[in-house]
Amino acid sequence: MEACYEAGGRGIQLIPAGKVSEAAKIMAETHDDFIITGSTFPGPDPLIDELAELDAKLIFAHGMVSDKKDEKLEKLIDEIESRGIIPGIAAHNPVSTLEYSFEKIPAVKAFLIPFNAQGLFMGDQKKLEMIVDSHKNHHFVGMKTLAAGKLDPYQAYDYISKHNICSATIGMVTVEEAKISTEIALRILQKS
């Protein structure tokens, strides 16, 4: 996280579990401009309390819940919102989940979706691009932006920069990956 921060990254998107939450808390306590966003845990306890304790600014309902498109999703969104936290929806099947959300939960304006030049995990890539680009009053955060490590960061973020994606998550394992991917993403996305 420190390497990402030094390269210009100013936050993390996490599921509240293990050492990542502990490290994020330390980063937020030692860096005033470090922002935590999170996704609920997909099990019986969504761990909203843990995300609230981390002072998460935005909490996405996990895709395993969102993609079922039912009352449980709507209750989860209400629970997040009742804590004064911005609610969002993560999706693993983005096209149908976005369409459902726009119709049934129109107050939600933030979405975490797979979005990458290969179309990996996106379902109907062209349809998803059209949905994202035509909903300017919504905020889309791209995940799987490097297509699970299959894309060159330059290609990945050039693609992202051409669409209505306001932020991107980057999966990182090594310090070098954190530094390089963050620098490239910021260089390309800050131009657009």
Backbone angles phi, psi at 18, to 5 degrees: 65, -150
Band the pLDDT of 173: cuts 50, 70, 90: confident
Q: pTM (2 decimals)?
A: 0.95
Q: What is the pLDDT of residue 18?
A: 85
Q: What is the pLDDT of residue 192?
A: 64
**Amino acid identity at 116:** N
Domain ranges (residues) in the chain: 2-189
Backbone angles phi, psi at 141, to 5 degrees: -110, 125
CA–CA separation, 117 vs 146, rounded Å? 8
**Amino acid identity at 163:** H
61 neighbors 90 (Cβ within 8 angstroms): yes
- In this prediction, residues 183-192 reach a mean pLDDT of 88
- Please, which residues bridge with residue 167 across strands? 141
Percent of the chain with pLDDT over 70: 99
Is the pLDDT assigned to residue 190 strictly greater than 90? no
Give the angle 23-24-30 at the CA atoms, nearest 5°.
90
Residue 80: its H or E element:
helix 71-82
Pull the structure tokens for residue 100: 């459902």
Q: Does domain 2-189 have CATH number 3.30.1490.150?
A: no
Q: What is the pLDDT of residue 131?
A: 98
Q: What is the pLDDT of residue 49?
A: 96
Pull the structure tokens for residue 153: 């960061």
**Amino acid identity at 140:** F
Tokens 């300017």 locate to 136
- Strands of the chain (E only): list them: 11-14, 35-39, 58-61, 86-90, 110-114, 139-143, 167-168
Band the pLDDT of 120: cuts 50, 70, 90: very high
Is the pLDDT assigned to residue 94 strictly greater than 70? yes
